[in-house]
Amino acid sequence: MNESPHASTGTAREVDILVVGAGPAGLFAAYYAGFRGLRVAVMDALSEPGGQVSAMYPEKSILDIAGFPAVKGRELIDRLLAQAAPYDPVYLLGEQAQTLDHAADGRVVVGTSTGRTVTAGAVVVTGGIGTFTPRPLAEGVDFLDRGLSYFVPDLSAHAGRDVVIVGGGDSAFDWAVHLEPIAASVTLVHRRDRFRAHGATVARVRDSSVRVLVNADVAAVRGNGWISEVDIHHRVDKTITTVPAQSVIAALGFTADLGPMTDWGMRIESRHIVVDSRMRTTVPRVYAAGDITDYPGKVRLIAVGFGEAATAVNNAAAALDPDAEIFPGHSTEQEN
């Protein structure tokens, strides 16, 4: 069930587990809560599930998921949604968790950006790096959604266009690789002559038809309603090159913020939530899993987040029902 925040403003919900964050770890937590027979809701400030995977690299191949030699981000999210679907999780998308209190019976009460109240037996925070905001391309801000974008959720939207990508990291080079076969042209602009992207991807772009301009900045973006051309300033010889462009993708990184969660009373170090081996935070009935967590030896991989999500849900289930086992058994032992 997917609820519109506009249609549900001011309504209340009661669930066993509220998952805050609809990235891979959060979606797996939703499945595992359902597997344990718990009612679950998944909340995310973004308007679609998938977190950073959906927003930043849906077409990128992910290589470190167990059992998949390679899986595209979009496919991974679709499979996680399908896995949880039999248990009917409620998705509260486009809705930010803001306040956290405890009811007299110990349940957790979360207030949201739409005025909704969600009361849950326990909360599992799977917010990745928190709310992430792209660093703007100052010269093109007037063309946001009129040719300028910061993410590429749909490659086909740029098919047949002259595309300018600004940046020198993995996202910039990944998008260059995927857009080169379908765009009319791709120009990659970076302010330095060294890149932060993976060397193999850089080499692949260098060997393609992508035009790579280094030691260069975007000096101006012009168009009549929609972007039509971009001026590129070469920092060494101070010349200007004008290139046609109907799409400008600014891959300049982003800033991350845990937002209102910093006021929930959890122990937070270096923008990460400290947890113990049960994925418990320092706040009663509030657990965390995935990239947002920190503990000695922490490894930030999607694969690790899956295990942490299962650990958090299992321990939350036992906390809610003292007669429940922390480990319910393997899924292969359950009757179909």
Summarize the annotated binding site for FAD as residue ranges: 44, 52, 57, 97, 132, 291, 332
What is the full DSSP assignment across 238-284? --EEEEE-SEEEE---EEEE-GGGGGS---EETTEEE--TT-B-SST
- Report strand pairing: 211-213 vs 185-189: parallel
CA–CA distance, 256 with 132 (Å, rounded to integer): 4
CA–CA distance, 223 with 229 (Å, rounded to integer): 7
Best CA proximity match to 276, nearest among 295, 298, 303, 297: 295
Best CA proximity match to 92, nearest among 55, 120, 118, 124: 118
Best CA proximity match to 5, nearest among 48, 35, 39, 34: 48
Question: Binding site membership: which residues?
Answer: 44, 52, 57, 97, 132, 291, 332
**Integer angstrom CA distances of residue 2 from 15, 45, 77, 232, 315:** 15, 13, 15, 44, 27
Token representation of residue 314 = 């299992």
Residue type, 122: A
CB-based contact 190:253 (threshold 8 Å): no
CA–CA distance, 304 with 44 (Å, rounded to integer): 21
Sign of the CA dihedral 86, 315, 123, 66? negative
173 backbone dihedrals φ, ψ, rounded to 5°: -75, -35
CB-based contact 43:19 (threshold 8 Å): yes
